[in-house]
Each structure stands twice: as structure tokens, then as C-alpha cells.
Structure 1
Amino acid sequence: MTVRSRFHSIVSSIVSVHPHEISALLHAFSCFFFILSAYFVVLPLRDDGAISLGITNLPELFVGSLVLTLIAAPVSTVIFSLPYLSKGKALVLIHRFFSVSLVVFFVLWYSSSAKSFPSGSKVSVPHSTFKEDLKVDENLGSPAISPGSGNHGWFYISVRTGFFLWVALLNLITISSTWARIIDVLDSESGSRLFGFIGAGATLGQLLGSLFAAAMTWMGPFLLLFAALLMELAAQSSKGINQGIPHHTEELSSLREGEPDQHVETDEQIRPALAGSSPKSSTSLGNPRLWVMLDGLQLIMSSSYLLSISLFLWLGAVVSSFFYFQKITVVAMTVASPLGRRKLFAQINSFIAVFILAGQLTVTERILTVAGVTMAICLAPFIAFSNMVAITLWPTWFVVAVSETLRKVVMYVVTRPGRELLFTVVSREEKYKAKVCIDVIVQRLGDATAAGMYKFLFGTFNRRTSTVALYGLPVCLLWIVTAFRLGRRQEHLAKLHVASTP
């Protein structure tokens, strides 16, 4: 037995995969591994930078993310629509662009940090222990949660504000674009089997990236260079996502170069049903237009199914942002040292990743294939509702930490793979145009909405986290109802797709 065949047999023993799917599966696994590794290497640096600007400024940063996304999202869809650029090459360019951008931010961050020290002083590497870094600050008027940004200069503030916005954009664009590519080469059946394993690559990246960030916190902005290298490795891995997949259906065969517009009669007959009762016929993806994002919005508005997906993701983003604000607020109030905050953020991410990885390798496939999409996407809003109740009754750091762990484990083990299955029953045009629009624009709209709500509630109720959580309960209930109806709709469309396939 050759090394290659032995490796394939090992993969087959872990996940139910056909021989022709192994190459694409492993490339998708490694691509997400490198993307999430890069993201979690720089995430503690980003969050601590945001705290240094003042907790009360976080909602404005989320609104800024929305504005930046509205500008950048059309660019990614235009890249995917260029006739002379294959989808695989477009994905490589997106990853490589963000790799270069991290190098640029390293230069800016390092320059701004040097200028923040008085002239003549030397910057030394801290040697304090983690226990010493976790100094409790009982003063609620500390700089970490004060309205202003301390005595920092405009360059310092600009760099950290820009980095916060950019990292959020990196996370959304790269992950959404990669998933769009994956679901274009996998159907609903193969996705149910393989999405859990692919997601495990992302979680393994989160684990190793968080562990590296926790161990190498003293490196500060130099972590950005390592993250840039990881993003380049993600670009290299994305090249093979479409390799080894037999294009046995029309939709998959259209991926081949030189045959971008082949359609069979059966596919044209079932496409309106899969688009959510939208009669709009598919147009060539090889026709670049500056208003391609408007096409994505038009596809969403003309499909009740895509509108339901948008509402589901919007509600999820609102709830997730509530938990994020609560976590940052508690850390800012209890940990005084910037180095200690970075270590704490990294260790929390590592702790969560261990449970997510174990769940994705053992639970995801069983839930998606046995319980179905409806159960998968309903579990996250149900857990979120339970967490809101717990925080309302016991607003402590321990409850917030446990709630954050449960929420993320359920989200990435079950709901996220189930969410991607929602797009396996739509047309190819909707996958590339509408999906990117939904994943990026709708996500940021949810973040911005939550930011405004949280800032109002946080100020109105004198920074009482328990009261803020109480107002999140109606959002969770609406999320549960939307998830149930959407899951039933997807299962119905999937059956239509199977019945119509010759």
C-alpha cells in the first residue's frame, strides 16, 4: 500500500468519504485550518486594541464594520464574476490580498506602538507571569471602559480602529468565499457527510492559532507576520478544492473551464423551485458588472427562501454580538493588564476550540444525517435563549464564560454546517452572488443593529449586564421560530431536487 492510499484510508476511517472526494475534502480542510489559524493568532491583539480605545466605543466600531463591508463586499463578488478568472483563482487572489494587508498592518501597528512611548524610553519584553497580568480592576471608571480613548494620539487610534474593522472583514470575506466555493462542488448529500470534517479543520486552526497566540503574546504586532504567512498557505490550499470531484451533475459540470454556461433541460425546470419560487432564470456568471452586488440583492428580494435565510442570519448576528459585548465588558472590568487580557482571550478561544473539535469529529455528521437540517439550525437559538436566561439570573464571569463556550460549541459543531446546507438547494448564481451578499452584508447589519441596541440598553440600565440580557430573550424566540420554518423549507426543496435528478 502506497503512502497516498494509506493516508486516504485513514481519512476514510474518520469520515464517510468517496475516493473521488478525498482531494477536495483535504484541500478544503487545510484551507479553513490556515484561515482560522491566522484569524485567532491576531484576534487577541485586535480585542485588546479595541479595549484600549474604550468599551463604550465598541458599538461605533461595529457600525464602522458595516460601512466597510458595504464597500468591500461588491469587490469580492466582482472578482468571482470575471470571465477570464476561474473561481479557484479568484479565491486564491482574495486570500493573498488579505495576507499582504496583514503585513501592511504590522508596519502600521509597530510604528504606532513605538510612538506611544515617551522619547528616550526603551520598549522591553514583559516577563510577568499570567497570574500577575490578571490584576483585578474594581474601578469601573478605568480607562478600559471609559468613554474616551485615553491619551493616545490620532495615529494610534486610527491604526487600532482600522485593524479592528479589517480583521472583521477578513474573517467574513475569506470564510464566506471559501464556503461558496465548497458548496459549489458538493451537493446536499455529500455536504451532510463532509461539512463536519471540513469544519473540524477550521476548529483545529482556531485551537492551534489560539495556543500560539497565548504562548507568544509577548511578540505583540510581530504575530501579524505569522498570520500573513498562514493566509498565504490558505491561498495555496484553496487551489485544490475543485480537484477530484466528478462532475456527474450539470451544476457541477459547469465549473469546468471553457464550459461556463452549459445547462440541461432538467436543471432549468427545477431551478425556479430551488430558488424559492423565484422565476428568474440564471444568467451567465462570466459577465462582469459593477452592479453585481445589486444582482445579489435582487436575487434575495425575489426569493422567499433567501429572505428567510437572511432573517435567520441577521437574528443570529444580533444575538452573537450581544454575547461579544458582554464578554469584552467583563474582561475590561476585571483584567487591568493589556498583556493579561490578550492571554485571557487566547486561552478562552483555546478552551472553546477543544470542545468544538471533539464535537465536529464525532457529532456533526450524525446530527446532520439523522436529525436533519431543521434540528441543526434550531439548536443554536435554543441554547442562546437558555444562555440569556442564565445571564439574567446569574450575571457573573463564570456564567458568561460557560455561556460563551456552549454557544460557540453548538454554533460551530451543529448549526454552522447545517447553515451551509441551506445553500445546497439554490442555483449556482445564487450561491456566488446572493450567498456572499447574505453572509457579508446581512451579518454586518446584524452586528450594527446589536451595537445600537446594546449601547442604548447598557447606558440606560447603568451597565447592568443582566438587564441587557433580559431584552435579548424576544430576539432568541424569534430566531427559534425562523430556524424551524427555514429548516422545514430546506428539507422540502432538497427532496424536490433529488426527485428531479435523473
Structure 2
Amino acid sequence: MISEQVGTGRRLGRFRAALSASPPLWWAMLYFFSLLCGYYVLRPVRDAMGASSDAAAVFPRGLIALGERLGIEVGAFTLQLLFTATFIAMVLLQPLYGALVSRFPRRVFLPAVYLVFIACLLGFWWAFDSGIPGRGAVFFVWVAVFNLFAVTVFWSFMADVFDNANAKQFYGYIGAGGTIGALVGPAITRFLVEPVGVANLLLVSAGFIGICLLCIIKLRPWALARERSHGGGTDGRAMGGSILAGLRLVWERPLLRALAMLMFFGVGVGTLLYNEQAAIVRAAFDTAEERAAFYSMLDWAINGLTIAIQLLLTRFLLQRYGIAPLLLLPAFAIILGFAALSASPLPMLVAIVQIVTRASEFSLAKPARETLYTRVDREERYKAKAVIDTAVYRGGDLTFVWVHKALATLGSSMVFLAGLGIALGMTYGAWRVVRAERTLPEDPGRRQASTGSGKASAAT
């Protein structure tokens, strides 16, 4: 008992020392807390839309009428249609994001992204308050886009603020700040959804995104200071380059290809679980409020486990052993989970594997992947990362949501048996990332800066 108290005291002491030694850590934690809190206020509402058995509450009347003329029940393909629309939206937005990153400096495009999100939330507040048909489908797609782009931009910016050594030391704490936000968000939804209604929850989320804007402004001096120390200029100028450079980089660089493979199959694992879970929720709960409450409880369990791992294991494993255990341990756990589900696909076991899968992704795999982006250049950090985190991610969603639809006719056991093969693909991708990571320099920015000063001296 005494040794446990001593260990806890040491961990708290290290955390306090990290906060005092690194002022940007405070703002980074507040930023991620506010971002995930705002998102998790919305997530249960989005998931309730995806699990709805009422097509009229999700899709526009015109689409439902078209389905009736073709003899297709639109409600039977709710998730498939929503995921397909999400993928199309991601593909269309990639060139726009690439142009924004290429042509505008960070001080312009980062606030612009979040201001657009706030404006959209205000628009959805009006749509939900007015009861406009088809709002559910548009909202589902938008929340999926918001989640990926907002979080991708966050971690890209963190790679500008912190170097690799800082990332190994601080990313676990930053992730824990986000996880606390992910715990608070569902609680807000659970306790406010019935008294204030769905529409007013969107205003709460918009308030948290506004705090993110403040954090970006406060963190900008440290990002610029790191850029100056690496010879990257002094004014945070636009990085230039092609708006489609991200696609080229993912194709050319072994590490980025491996990360794309890991992302694709990792999404496949989550998508199969998500679809099975949606079927269970659709059968168990009648109203959107009941479904939103269930999803918020599930998010509580996931995020509670996540924060425990982040505070107790993530920093230790990352500093002592590097990224290998953080990528491979979740992969092996998912293989075991899917093997158990293929033998006995009980609803409670599905929920448990879902909790383990998402908690291990948030607490171990994601921090490990994000530290890698501190060791690559800015085009890879912003453009290639955006391709992997958005287009590849939603491409995996699109692929496996239709795979699930085909497999579901054969029963849950076949779904999870196929999922076992997908989990093996994810494990292979993780192994490829670990191998490719060994070829990266510890701090490429400093190496480029010293090379640049050497050339300048020679020229002088």
C-alpha cells in the first residue's frame, strides 16, 4: 500500500515538474481537453443518428422517395449510405485543405479551420431547432469530418510546438488532457440532452471550439520559436508546394505507406465492431435520447480506461521502449478479442472488445503514431498526415462498412472471423511502421538547420 502511494506521488511529482518546465504544455492540454470535450458532446448525438431506425429522421425526403421508386428500403442501409457520403466529403475536401495549407501561413489557416467549424455548428443549431428534414445525415457526415480534420490539425500543430524528446515526455499528458475532455463531453450530453434538447447541445460544443482558438493564439509563439531554431524562417510563412503533395508523399515514403496501411486495417477493425454495436442498440432502444444516453455511457467506460493507461503506462513505455510496444500490444489484444468474438459473439463481449479496442487506440497507438510526425518535415506533417488521417481513414470506413453488410447475412461469427483477418493486417502494418521508424533521424529540423548554416558559412 505504501509503495503504491509512493509511486503515485512520484508520478504526480513528474507531472507537476513537466508543467512548470514547459508552459506550452498547459495550453496544449487545455486545447486538447476543449477539442475532445466539444467533439464528445456531439458524438452521442451523431451515433444516435446512425443507429436510428427512422429513415425520415436521418435522410432527406427526396432520397427516401427515390429509394421507394427503386424498391429499396433506405433505412436498411443507413450506416452504409452515411459512411459513403462521409468518404465522398473527405475526398472533396482534401484539395481544399491542401490549398489552405500550401497558400496561407499557420496563423491564418489554423484559426480559419476552427472558425468554419463554429459557423457550421451554429447552422446545425438552427437546422435542429427548426426540424429540417435530412438534418441527421448531414450532421452525421459533418461530425465525422470535424473529428478527423480538427484532431489532425491539432496533432500537426503539436509537432510544430514540441520536438521528439518533448513529444515522448509530454504527449501522454496531453493525451490525458484530451481524455478528460472526452469524459466530460458525454457527461454533459447525458445530463443535458433531455432538459435542453439536442439543438442546444450544439451551442455548448461551439463554446469549447472557441476555447481552442484561444489556445492556438497562445501556443503560436512557441511554434515560431521552434521553427526559428531549426532554420525554418521567422514569420510562420506558408509552406507552399502542391495542394496534392500529401498523396504523392504517402505513395513515395515507406514510413507513410506503412502508416496508411496501419490506419486502413485499424479502421476496418473498428468499423466491424461499430456496425455490430449499432445493430444491438437499434434493437434495444426506441428513442434518440435513449440511444444517445447509452453511447455516452460507453464513451465513459472507454475514456476511463484510456486515461488510466495514459497516466500509468504511456509515458513510461514511450520513453523506455519507443513506439514498438504501443503499436504492437493493442494489435495483439485486438486479435485475441476478435478470436473470442468469432467463437462466442455475445453482446456484452462485443461491448468489452469495443472498449479495449478504442481505449488502446487512444492511449497507446495514437500517441506513438503522433510522435513520428515530430521527426518529419512540415509537408509530411500537415499534408501527408491529413491524407492518412482523413482520406485513408474514411476510405477504410467506406470499404469495411460495405464488407460488413455482406458478411452480416452470414451471421455474427463470420463477421468476427473476417475481422480476425483484418486484425492480422493491422498487426502487419504496425510491424512495418516500427521497422520504418528506425530509419528516421531523432530531430530532422536541427540536422537541416546545421546543414543550412554550414552551407552559409562555406558561401561566406
TM-score band, normalised by shorter chain: 0.7 to 0.9
For residue 411 of structure 1, report the CA deviation from its aligned partner. Answer: 1.0
Superimposed CA distance per residue, residues 396-431 of structure 1 (whole angstroms, 9 cap, x where no aligned partner): 221111111111221111111001122222222211
TM-align CA RMSD: 2.5
Cα distance in 2 for partners of 1:324, 1:212 equals 23
Contact 1:93–1:235 (Cα < 8 Å) also in 2:
no
Q: Which runs of 5+ in 1 are unaligned?
A: 1-9, 113-154, 261-284
Percent of residue pairs bearing the same amino acid type: 25
The corresponding residue for 1:182 is 158
Deviations 1:330-368 (A, max 9, x none): 111222233211111111111221221222122110111
Q: CA deviation at 1:495?
A: 5.2
Would the aligned equivalents of 2:110 and 2:153 in 1 still touch at CA under 8 Å?
yes
97, 101, 114: which is aligned to 1:80?
Answer: 101
Q: Could you tell me how far apart the structure 1 residues matched to 2:31 and 2:202 are?
A: 18
- Aligned AA (1:472): G
* Partner amino acid, structure 1, of 2:395: L
1:350 alignment counterpart: 300
Distance 2:347 2:326 in 1: 28
1:168 equivalent to 2:144? Answer: yes
Q: Report matched runs for 1:244-263 at 5 Å.
A: 244=222, 247=225, 252-254=230-232, 256-257=234-235, 260=237
Q: How big is each residue's C-alpha offset from its partner over 1:12-50, in whole Å with a ceiling of 9 and x where there is no partner?
A: 731663866x23222221111111111111111111122
Q: TM-score, normalised by structure 2?
A: 0.85
The residue that corresponds to 1:100 in the other structure is: 119
Q: Return the offset for 1:194.
A: 0.8
1:205 is displaced (CA, Å) by 0.8
Could you give the per-residue CA deviations for residues 446-493 of structure 1, whole angstroms, max 9, x where no partner exists?
1111111111111x31xx222211111111112112211211321332
Residues 244, 302 of structure 1: alpha-carbon distance in 2 compared, 3 angstrom cutoff: closer
CA distance in 2, matches of 1:373, 1:435: 18
The AA in structure 1 aligned to 2:113 is I
Q: Matched residues in 2 for 1:495 and 1:475: separation?
A: 32
Give 3-state SS (helix, strand or coil) of 2:187's partner: helix
Higher mean displacement: 158-167 or 325-334:
325-334
| Correspondence for 2:412 | 465
TM-score normalized with structure 1 length: 0.78
2:316 is equivalent to residue 297 of structure 1: no
Residue 49 (structure 2) pairs with residue 28 (structure 1): no
AA matched with 1:347: M
Q: Distance in 1 between matches of 2:372 and 2:16?
A: 21
**Whole-Å separation in 1 of the counterparts to 2:179 and 2:350:** 21
* CA distance, structure 2, for counterparts of residue 492 and residue 203 of structure 1: 31
Give the letter for the 1:180 counterpart: S
Q: Residue type of the partner of 1:29?
A: M
Counterpart for residue 396 of structure 1 = 346
Question: Could you tell me how far 1:66 is from its partner in structure 2?
Answer: 0.6
In the alignment, which residue of structure 2 is the partner of 1:197? 173
Q: Would you say the 8 A contact 1:24–1:242 is kept in 2?
A: no
3-state SS of paired residue (2:286): coil
**Aligned letter for 1:183?**
A
CA contact (8 A) 1:16 1:194 kept: no
SS of the residue corresponding to residue 220 of structure 2 reads coil
Corresponding position: 1:60 with 2:81: yes
Correspondences of 1:109-188 after superposition (within 5 Å): 109-112=128-131, 155-156=132-133, 158-188=134-164
Please tell me whether the aligned partners of residues 184 and 252 of structure 1 are also in contact (alpha carbons under 8 angstroms): no
Who is 1:221 aligned against?
A: 199
2:388 alignment partner in structure 1:
438
1:174-224 Cα shifts (integer Å, max 9, x gaps): 000111111122222211111111111211111000111111121222111
Indicate how the Cα distance of structure 1 residues 57 and 197 shifts in structure 2: closer, same or farther if over 3 A, else same.
Answer: same
1:91 equivalent in structure 2:
110
Out of 486, 491, 497, the residue aligned to residue 433 of structure 2 is 486
Which residue matches 1:150? none
Determine if contact 2:239/2:378 at 8 Å carries over to the other structure.
no
Question: Which residue of the partner structure matches residue 265 of structure 2?
Answer: 315
Superposed, 1:337-416 pairs within 5 Å as 337-416=287-366
Counterpart in the other structure of 2:213:
235
- Give the aligned residue type for 2:111: V
Residue equivalent to 2:63:
none
In 2, the alpha carbon distance for the partners of 1:15 and 1:372 equals 23
Q: Is the 8 A contact 1:15 1:194 kept in 2?
A: no
Instruction: Tell me if structure 2 keeps the 8 A contact 1:103–1:228.
Output: yes
Q: Could you say which residue in structure 1 is the equivalent of 2:367?
A: 417
CA distance in 2, matches of 1:250, 1:380: 37
Aligned residues: 417
> Distance in 1 between the 2:299 and 2:77 partners?
23
